[in-house]
Amino acid sequence: DAEITQSPRHKITETGRQVTLACHQTWNHNNMFWYRQDLGHGLRLIHYSYGVQDTNKGEVSDGYSVSRSNTEDLPLTLESAASSQTSVYFCASSSQPLEYEQYFGPGTRLTVT
């Protein structure tokens, strides 16, 4: 069965370190998204991609970067982790940008100490 996976599921890192969160989907979807979820804010879009070599900034992109070298993967990198980036991170994918559901991965809980 097609699925979307994230790794690691839990991560503790120190302030200033570079961290990369992996997202892999086997739906063969062109569209992939990274969100963070914090209490009181719901899901906020960090970056998104509509295909290979395409990346776009979302509403909370500062301090994050992504790259899309193939259809299946969209890794999220925190260049220099900050305590404000402690959050739960969800990756999602969809077959079309709109008017189609987004399938979510299981999430990564990141703690920056």
Partner 1 sequence: EDKVVQSPLSLVVHEGDTVTLNCSYEVTNFRSLLWYKQEKKAPTFLFMLTSSGIEKKSGRLSSILDKKELFSILNITATQTGDSAVYLCAGGSGTYKYIFGTGTRLKVLA
Q: What is the CA radius of gyration of the chain?
A: 13
How, if at all, do strands 103-104 and 54-57 pair?
unpaired
Residue 62's Cα: distance from chain center in Å? Answer: 13
Identity of the residue, 58 or 63, whose beta carbon is nearer to partner 1 in the bound complex: 58
Of the residues 33, 34, 64, 89, which one makes contact with partner 1 according to CB under 8 A: 33
What tokens were used for 38?
């914090």
Binding of partner 1 by 97 (CB under 8 A): yes
Identity of the residue, 73 or 88, whose beta carbon is nearer to partner 1 in the bound complex: 88
Residues in binding contact with partner 1, number by CB under 8 A: 23
Of the residues 50, 65, 72, 77, which one makes contact with partner 1 according to CB under 8 A: 50
Binding of partner 1 by 64 (CB under 8 A): no
Binding of partner 1 by 89 (CB under 8 A): no
Q: How far is the CB of 65 from partner 1 (least distance, A)?
A: 18
Report yes or no: 9 and 20 within 8 Å, Cβ to Cβ. Answer: no
Binding of partner 1 by 103 (CB under 8 A): yes
47: which residues sit within 8 A by CB, 6+ positions away?
33, 34, 55, 56, 57, 58, 61, 64, 65, 66, 74, 76
Instruction: Give the residues lining the site for partner 1 (CB under 8 A).
Output: 33, 35, 40-45, 48, 50, 58, 90, 97-107
